[in-house]
Chain A
Amino acid sequence: MFSNLAMAYVFIYVCLGLIAAGIILLFQMKIKHNAEQKEMERLKKKYHDYFVYVQTHLHGDITPELPPGKLTPAERRVIQAKFMEWIEQFKGDAREKLLRLCRDAGFVEADIRALSSLRKDRRIEAAYRLGGMRAEEAVPQLQHMMNRMKYGPMTIIIARAIAKSAVQSQQIREMLSKLLSYDKAIHHMAADILLETRLDSASLMRKLLDDPDPGLVKVSLVAMWGQAIPAVVPALGKLVGSEEKDVRAEAVKLYLSSNPALKDDTIEELMNDHAWEVRSAAAKALGRLHAAGSIPLLASALKDDNWYVRNHSAESLAMLGEQGFETLCQAALTGTGPARETALYRIERIMAKEGEHEQVEQMVAYNKRKLVYDRYFGVQPSKRIGTVAGVGGDYTA
């Protein structure tokens, strides 16, 4: 019993010691943080006039200068933070002036030195700030740092710093390859990082689309946000036939968004693709392209297993004039299952817009549809089918 109690006493003493140390640490941290906060506020006030001076000269011929005298570390932090905030906001000459100020003040140099610090905190902070100051000279060191790191949130911070600072497309390519090498399917994150670059995006995208690495191709496709840059359309045309399902789907979406002239057999091929993403993108584009010849294809796509394909087909049919709308009405009246539900839903949405049209053309188009609707469903415009339409269990969304 005694030895047991003795052990409990040791436990108590250890706990007491740790608690005392913890409380002291807590107070010390709190007082330090509050003091730092106060000092930062004071310095922000002190440099308020200086910031106004810099801001007024960002867009003029005069190059703003640094504040006179030697700056303390806290002052440097406040000024650097403000400059970095502005660098994100401004472009062109204003940004260049700010970048020059950061260099002249020695901020870039100091942070490059901090990249070799023994403390991880300082290294990461320096990397972040160097990215903020578009420090191209720091890129090799940042790349080295990234290559030595295990994948995690810090990798993303450094990758962003590289994307912001890089002045050669090869540096961006290497950074993206490294990011994708972790095999985490982070194409969207990589695309977001890619968009931080200062390089000409059209030529960078074109280079990446021609890259033998399908991962990089996918990143550039994703980075276009569903809107193709004209310069890359030829490269996209080639990728439409890619064997990689994801690449093909993204390429088709982008290619179709550029409003190309499509041959009938290309349309048929796309609408019969085994990837639903491709079928869906094609179905969505056909209405916008006014491809009236594709009405039969869209009508049969209303029976597709995939929710998106069905709905995009219905949407496109609704955009293809009276003939398209009539096809929808036929599907709603004579079709079965999801095809009928999808058509009905689309028709309901169109008919619900009565009285919302301001343009004469829109009113005429609506009235034509109304005539077709009445022919199929009778004159009462508010014929509703059921309360809640179940479109079936499709969870591809």
Chain B
Amino acid sequence: MVAIYYVMAVSALYFVILLFSFRNIRDIFRRANYSKYNTLSGSELVPSVSLLVPAYNEELTIAENVRCLMTLNYPTYEVIVINDGSSDDTLQVLIEEYGLTLLPNPELRGNIHTHKMRGIYYNPQYPQLYVIDKENGGKADSLNAGINLSRYPLISSIDADSLLEKDALIRMARMYMENPEETVAIGGDVRIANGCVIENGEVKDVSLPRRMWPMFQSIEYLKAFLGGRIGWSHLNGLIIVSGAFGMFRKDYVIAVGGYRGGYPGEDMNIIIKLHRYMLENKIKYRVSFCPEAVCWTQAPDSYNILSNQRKRWGRGNLKNMIENRNMLFNPKYKVMGLLTMPYNVIFEALNPYFRITGLLALLGYVMLDMTNWQVLVVFGLVNFLSGYLLSVGALILEEMAFRRYTKLSDLVKMLLFSALKFVGYHQLGVLWRVQGHIQYMQNNNSWGTMTRQSWKDKNEAA
């Protein structure tokens, strides 16, 4: 019965967070609809932002993504692409596309230690674009190199396989301007681009993915971002700002020593470090989530790539929890120490073990006395229905505030896949997480394979 209670407790917590999301969703809708961004996006009063785009073997998508970033509705910003020692032609593609030349004597303002920089490329005709070429050192190392070159007080990390909506940055900046002293980080909403029509680095027609794996991820992202992060940000207990799209105060990122290299999960790590720094120094702060600032990303569409990604996440999550274990149940760290971290350890990191041992115990119990088979069914139903209810909740939030998927058939498809997720995909998620933990124990720190398709191919295949 412990297993059933565990599931019910997890669900209850999820529901509480979901309720906070519901509490805030109308305000989000109003601020997104009744704030006019065209005046702000032409205003010198908006803070300047340095966009940092780490790129490793992105030759197929990088040109289109940079084109997208160069045409955002934002007054003053720079795009810094960091070629992290790619073995393909990422750098060459950029040099040719933008006519870049090596800067003879570039200046670096920051001094966070990074792997060696080979050079910085620039073309005065594209004054806001810089390309750093450096030796391979990982995503965190690339972001640190970008910080060292950046000129502006805000930085925004963007994955090279992601496309920002034209207003995404200005929406985030508006949120920042509402409380600039206390805001240390803002996360954007990440959505799955597979299936959408993409033209000139812009999502022209929103559609659900046609393939199974991206479709499951679509539902998963909706649930995590709308159902979870809106609520957590209300409590100021957000533990992660997605690496795909987030905005940070540069001075605080530097104060915490920049991004931690050498291990996945740097996006969660930087947020934990920021919480820790602000709380230890008793500085009033907030880590916010801006769901109306949307970034579209390519989701892995094959089993191998997806499993590698999830194992990496599992490993990164465990590493972050172990590294920051002293925050657990520590009242000094307020919501982070008393709620977010325990929640993350008990209900996220250890989740697979509770579920697996619970299921095994139940199976054993049923094997001993076959007349109790209904206990197993009840366990399954509690699991399924509570999860499905959360998905339905996330879909209602989407419909209340964003309505990106307009077709009725999309709604039917999302409801169907929200249910199908529990037959196989959910269990695979548990397995991948356990495998990630095993990799952590074995000190296996590989990134795994990640292949890209150009946006054009993606449109055809998705």
Determine the residue in chain A with the shortest Cβ distance to B375.
A5
The answer to whether B1 and A184 have CB atoms under 8 Å apart is no
The answer to whether B109 and A348 have CB atoms under 8 Å apart is no
**Of A104-112, A185-193, A279-287, which binds chain B?**
A185-193
**Of A134-142, A234-242, A358-366, A384-392, which binds chain B?**
A384-392
The answer to whether B27 and A154 have CB atoms under 8 Å apart is yes
User: Chain B 109-120, CB within 8 Å of chain A: the 1/0 string?
Assistant: 111000001011
If A19-B385, A22-B396, A395-B110 touch, does A191 touch B406 (CB 8 Å cutoff)?
Answer: no
Determine the residue in chain B with the shortest Cβ distance to A121.
B26
The answer to whether A345 and B107 have CB atoms under 8 Å apart is yes
Taking a contact as CB atoms closer than 8 A, the residue among A15, A184, A196, A389 that contacts B105 in the complex is A389
Interface residues of A in 139-169 (CB under 8 A from B): 152-154, 156-157
B303 at the interface (CB under 8 A from A): no
Interface residues of A in 12-30 (CB under 8 A from B): 12, 15-16, 18-19, 22-23, 25-27, 29-30
The answer to whether A156 and B35 have CB atoms under 8 Å apart is yes
Sorting the interface of chain B by its residue count into under 10, 10 to 19, 20 to 34 or 35 or more gives 35 or more
A335 at the interface (CB under 8 A from B): no
Taking a contact as CB atoms closer than 8 A, the residue among B26, B47, B151, B415 that contacts A188 in the complex is B47
Interface residues of A in 211-253 (CB under 8 A from B): 222-223, 225-226
If A34-B406, A186-B178, A395-B250 touch, does A390 touch B44 (CB 8 Å cutoff)?
Answer: no
Taking a contact as CB atoms closer than 8 A, the residue among A19, A156, A341, A388 that contacts B388 in the complex is A19
B254 at the interface (CB under 8 A from A): yes
Taking a contact as CB atoms closer than 8 A, the residue among A186, A385, A397 that contacts B179 in the complex is A186
The answer to whether B153 and A397 have CB atoms under 8 Å apart is yes
A42 at the interface (CB under 8 A from B): no
> Across the interface, which residues of B come within 8 angstroms of A386, CB to CB?
105
Quote the shortest CB–CB distance from B299 to chain A (angstroms): 23
> Across the interface, which residues of B come within 8 angstroms of A275, CB to CB?
none
The answer to whether B396 and A391 have CB atoms under 8 Å apart is no
Interface residues of B in 2-34 (CB under 8 A from A): 4, 8, 26-27, 30-31, 34
The answer to whether B178 and A153 have CB atoms under 8 Å apart is yes
Taking a contact as CB atoms closer than 8 A, the residue among A8, A15, A31, A395 that contacts B109 in the complex is A395
Distance, CA A392 to CA B39, complexed state (A): 37
> Across the interface, which residues of A come within 8 angstroms of B396, CB to CB?
22, 25-26, 29
A1 at the interface (CB under 8 A from B): yes
Distance, CA A389 to CA B34, complexed state (A): 47
> Across the interface, which residues of B come within 8 angstroms of A33, CB to CB?
399, 403
The answer to whether B1 and A344 have CB atoms under 8 Å apart is no
> Across the interface, which residues of B come within 8 angstroms of A373, CB to CB?
none
Quote the shortest CB–CB distance from B256 to chain A (angstroms): 12
B408 at the interface (CB under 8 A from A): yes
The answer to whether A12 and B108 have CB atoms under 8 Å apart is no
Determine the residue in chain A with the shortest Cβ distance to B153.
A397
B282 at the interface (CB under 8 A from A): no
Taking a contact as CB atoms closer than 8 A, the residue among A19, A124, A223, A389 that contacts B389 in the complex is A19
The answer to whether B104 and A348 have CB atoms under 8 Å apart is yes
Determine the residue in chain A with the shortest Cβ distance to B105.
A348
Determine the residue in chain A with the shortest Cβ distance to B403.
A33
User: Chain A 186-209, CB within 8 Å of chain B: the 1/0 string?
Assistant: 101101100110000000000000
If A5-B375, A188-B180, A395-B109 touch, does A11 touch B34 (CB 8 Å cutoff)?
Answer: no
A83 at the interface (CB under 8 A from B): no
B393 at the interface (CB under 8 A from A): yes
> Across the interface, which residues of B come within 8 angstroms of A1, CB to CB?
1
Distance, CA A344 to CA B104, complexed state (A): 11
A71 at the interface (CB under 8 A from B): no
The answer to whether A192 and B43 have CB atoms under 8 Å apart is yes
The answer to whether B392 and A23 have CB atoms under 8 Å apart is yes
The answer to whether B107 and A341 have CB atoms under 8 Å apart is yes
> Across the interface, which residues of B come within 8 angstroms of A31, CB to CB?
408
The answer to whether B30 and A385 have CB atoms under 8 Å apart is no
The answer to whether A225 and B180 have CB atoms under 8 Å apart is no
B89 at the interface (CB under 8 A from A): no
User: Chain A 331-359, CB within 8 Å of chain B: the 1/0 string?
Assistant: 00000000001001100100010000000
> Across the interface, which residues of B come within 8 angstroms of A152, CB to CB?
27, 178
B36 at the interface (CB under 8 A from A): yes
The answer to whether B40 and A352 have CB atoms under 8 Å apart is no
Distance, CA A121 to CA B378, complexed state (A): 41
Determine the residue in chain B with the shortest Cβ distance to A384.
B104
Interface of chain A: mostly helix, strand, loop or mixed: helix
Interface centre among B35, B105, B251, B389 (most CB of A within 10 A): B105
Distance, CA A70 to CA B30, complexed state (A): 29
> Across the interface, which residues of B come within 8 angstroms of A384, CB to CB?
104-105
Distance, CA A128 to CA B119, complexed state (A): 50
> Across the interface, which residues of A come within 8 angstroms of B111, CB to CB?
390, 392-393
> Across the interface, which residues of A come within 8 angstroms of B177, CB to CB?
186, 188-189, 192
The answer to whether B389 and A391 have CB atoms under 8 Å apart is no
Taking a contact as CB atoms closer than 8 A, the residue among B110, B181, B388 that contacts A184 in the complex is B181
Distance, CA A288 to CA B30, complexed state (A): 46
Distance, CA A11 to CA B8, complexed state (A): 8
User: Chain B 414-449, CB within 8 Å of chain A: the 1/0 string?
Assistant: 010000000000000000000000000000000000
User: Chain A 107-131, CB within 8 Å of chain B: the 1/0 string?
Assistant: 0000000000000110011001000
> Across the interface, which residues of B come within 8 angstroms of A88, CB to CB?
36, 38
> Across the interface, which residues of A come within 8 angstroms of B399, CB to CB?
26, 29-30, 33
The answer to whether A390 and B378 have CB atoms under 8 Å apart is no
If A26-B396, A222-B45 touch, does A196 touch B39 (CB 8 Å cutoff)?
Answer: yes
A9 at the interface (CB under 8 A from B): yes
> Across the interface, which residues of A come within 8 angstroms of B44, CB to CB?
225-226
Quote the shortest CB–CB distance from A170 to chain B (angstroms): 23
Distance, CA A261 to CA B407, complexed state (A): 66
Taking a contact as CB atoms closer than 8 A, the residue among A128, A392, A395 that contacts B34 in the complex is A128
A276 at the interface (CB under 8 A from B): no
The answer to whether B385 and A15 have CB atoms under 8 Å apart is yes
> Across the interface, which residues of A come within 8 angstroms of B254, CB to CB?
395
A394 at the interface (CB under 8 A from B): yes
User: Chain B 366-382, CB within 8 Å of chain A: the 1/0 string?
Assistant: 00000000110010011
The answer to whether A188 and B120 have CB atoms under 8 Å apart is no
A255 at the interface (CB under 8 A from B): no
Report A's interface with B, CB cutoff 8 A: 1, 4-5, 8-9, 11-12, 15-16, 18-19, 22-23, 25-27, 29-31, 33-34, 37, 88, 120-121, 124-125, 128, 152-154, 156-157, 184-186, 188-189, 191-192, 195-196, 222-223, 225-226, 307, 341, 344-345, 348, 352, 382, 384-395, 397
Which 8 A-B residue pairs are closest in the complex by CB-CB distance?
A: A153-B31, A15-B385, A22-B392, A128-B34, A393-B111, A189-B177, A185-B181, A348-B105
Contacts A23-B392, A26-B399, A196-B39 aside, 15 further interface pairs with beta carbons under 8 A come to A11-B8, A153-B35, A156-B35, A184-B178, A184-B180, A188-B180, A189-B178, A191-B45, A222-B45, A345-B105, A348-B104, A352-B104, A387-B119, A389-B105, A395-B254
* CB-defined A-B contacts under 8 Å, sample of 17: A8-B8, A18-B389, A22-B389, A22-B393, A22-B396, A23-B415, A26-B392, A29-B399, A30-B411, A33-B403, A153-B27, A153-B175, A192-B46, A192-B177, A222-B45, A344-B105, A390-B108
